């Protein structure tokens, strides 16, 4: 058994997965009396492809990875849960994560009864590599990293990530949900160098498809096979497979460039307000902003019809709001509302 196989839960290593009716017949034409479907066409009366072959081929070409290194999930949230179910024995194993980061890592750990060791980011939200390594013991299976990180917005230096992935004794999950907005790019082209690396990306951010729920994981063919065995057989529904495939024909570059330009514009405008203490540098499609009274500003914005995320009570984020970059007109409205707040014209 190699080092990666040894990290897998014994019951998953031994799993005999469900085989769908369609696994036994690959052709497209025929009379399908195998899956107890309705024969009456509604547009949706047939089960979707459980292996998402056509969509995977298209996404693999776009992302420049072999299709056998790609898993598709019902959002990245499905892939997060699968990591615990594949690698961690409930009540026995543990995982390590940076803090603050995306809240679902902790929720999925709790649901799966896995201890999560949360390690605070260093100064200026830097990667606490030595502390993350020191937190691992013989029962540590997973390390969750997120770059660019939510909610701090910064991407970690590639060399720091590489060295941590090489040294960490378990699986490293690197969530790149916001990588399309970052000049640091992605590590997905270098999977062959890191057998313990699983990269998550999503179509919910730069691709504008949050409503369709499509998350991607990039990893070695062995880890992707495990994820495919443990997922629900038809985890990506037919409409998502079709609509995502169509959407992928429309380029996103201009919109991503516009978001990045608007991010610079809002980041430049915010420090002019007296109540803004700090705008953190961002490699993502949002800004983390520290203000004098985060709860009061949050309440004002809500009362003015502008919803942001209050991160005031999150580790290392005291006084902070997380503001997503919207359309130019929406960002204009945000800045107008902040002007009103500064002048004392406070919505309650
Ligand atoms: N990862 C990160 C870091 C996120 O911030 C989010 C959503 N806020 C997700 C994953 C969720 O992605 P999905 O919509 O694909 O489930």
Same domain, 159 and 62: yes
Residue 125 lies in a domain: yes
Strand pairing report for 215-218 and 197-202? antiparallel
Closest of 145, 7, 201 to residue 86, by C-alpha? 7
Contact 287, 325 (CB under 8 A): yes
Q: Read off the pLDDT of residues 252-303 as tens digits, 9 standing for 90 and up.
A: 999 999 999 999 999 999 999 999 999 999 999 999 999 999 999 999 999 9
| Residue with CA at minimum distance from ligand 1 atom 8 | 102
The pLDDT confidence band at residue 118, using thresholds 50, 70 and 90, is: very high
Same domain, 90 and 233: yes
Average pLDDT score over residue span 312-316: 97
* Distance (Å) from CA 205 to ligand 1 centroid: 8
Same domain, 116 and 27: yes
Same domain, 164 and 309: no
CATH number at residue 292: 3.90.1150.10
CA 97, distance to chain mean position in Å, is 14
Contact 209, 247 (CB under 8 A): yes
CA 301, distance to chain mean position in Å, is 27
Q: Read off the pLDDT of residues 62-110 as tens digits, 9 standing for 90 and up.
A: 999 999 999 999 999 999 999 999 999 999 999 999 999 999 999 999 9
| Predicted pLDDT at 8 | 98
Same domain, 243 and 313: no
Same domain, 214 and 258: no
| Predicted pLDDT at 348 | 80
User: Which residue range forms the structural domain that includes residue 277?
Assistant: 253-342
* Distance (Å) from CA 283 to ligand 1 centroid: 15
Q: How far apart are CA 199 and CA 176, in angstroms?
A: 7
Here the tokens at position 284 are: 């993502």
Same domain, 241 and 260: no
Residue 258 lies in a domain: yes
Residue 347 lies in a domain: no
Residue 348 lies in a domain: no
**Cβ of 207 less than 6 Å from ligand 1:** no
**Cβ of 77 less than 6 Å from ligand 1:** yes
CA 212, distance to chain mean position in Å, is 15
> How many distinct structural domains can be found in the chain?
2
Strand pairing report for 320-324 and 286-291? antiparallel
- The pick from 77, 207, 240 for probing ligand 1's pocket by mutation, whose C-beta has the most ligand atoms within 8 angstroms, reads 77
| Predicted pLDDT at 22 | 77
**Cβ of 146 less than 6 Å from ligand 1:** yes
Closest of 347, 309, 335, 315 to residue 98, by C-alpha? 315
| Predicted pLDDT at 48 | 95
**Cβ of 76 less than 6 Å from ligand 1:** yes
Same domain, 61 and 10: yes
**Cβ of 204 less than 6 Å from ligand 1:** yes
> Would you list the DSSP string of 175-235?
E-TTGGG-TT--SGGGGGG-TTEEEEEESSSTT--GGG--EEEE--HHHHHHHHHHS-TT-
Q: Read off the pLDDT of residues 164-210 as tens digits, 9 standing for 90 and up.
A: 999 999 999 999 999 999 999 999 999 999 999 999 999 999 999 99
Q: How far apart are CA 180 and CA 200, in angstroms?
A: 12
| Predicted pLDDT at 42 | 97
Same domain, 243 and 257: no
| Predicted pLDDT at 347 | 84
**Cβ of 208 less than 6 Å from ligand 1:** no
Q: Read off the pLDDT of residues 4-50 as tens digits, 9 standing for 90 and up.
A: 999 999 999 999 999 888 787 777 788 999 999 999 999 999 999 99
Average pLDDT score over residue span 233-240: 97
Same domain, 192 and 334: no
């Amino acid at each position: 058994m190699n080092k990666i196989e040894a990290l897998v839960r014994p019951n998953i290593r031994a799993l005999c997965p469900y085989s769908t009716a369609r696994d036994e017949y690959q052709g497209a034409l025929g009379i399908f009396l195998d899956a107890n479907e309705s024969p009456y066409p509604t547009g949706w009366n047939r089960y979707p492809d459980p292996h998402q072959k056509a969509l995977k081929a298209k996404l693999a070409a776009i992302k420049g990875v072999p299709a056998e290194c790609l898993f598709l999930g019902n959002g990245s949230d499905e892939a997060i849960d699968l990591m615990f179910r594949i690698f961690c024995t409930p009540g026995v194993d543990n995982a390590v994560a940076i803090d603050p980061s995306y809240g679902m890592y902790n929720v999925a750990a709790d649901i799966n009864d896995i201890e999560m060791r949360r390690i605070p980011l260093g100064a200026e939200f830097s990667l606490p590599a030595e502390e993350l390594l020191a937190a691992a013991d013989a029962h540590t299976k997973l390390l969750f990293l997120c770059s660019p990180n939510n909610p701090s917005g910064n991407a970690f230096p590639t060399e720091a990530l590489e060295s941590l992935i090489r040294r960490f004794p378990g699986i490293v999950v690197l969530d790149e949900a916001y990588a399309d907005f970052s000049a640091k790019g992605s590590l997905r082209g270098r999977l062959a160098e890191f057998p313990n690396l699983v990269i998550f990306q999503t179509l919910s951010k730069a691709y504008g498809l949050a409503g369709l729920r499509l998350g991607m994981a990039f990893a070695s063919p062995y880890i992707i096979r495990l994820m495919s065995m443990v997922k629900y057989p038809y985890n990506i529904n037919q409409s998502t497979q079709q609509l995502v495939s169509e959407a992928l024909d429309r380029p996103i570059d201009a919109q991503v460039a516009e978001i990045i330009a608007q991010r610079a514009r809002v980041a430049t405008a915010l420090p002019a307000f007296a109540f803004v203490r700090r705008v953190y540098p961002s490699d993502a499609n949002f800004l983390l902003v520290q203000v004098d009274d985060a709860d009061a500003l949050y309440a004002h914005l809500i009362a003015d019809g502008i919803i942001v995320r209050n991160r005031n009570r999150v580790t290392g984020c005291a006084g902070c709001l997380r503001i997503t970059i919207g359309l130019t007109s929406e960002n204009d409205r945000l800045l107008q509302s902040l002007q009103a707040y500064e002048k004392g014209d406070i919505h309650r």
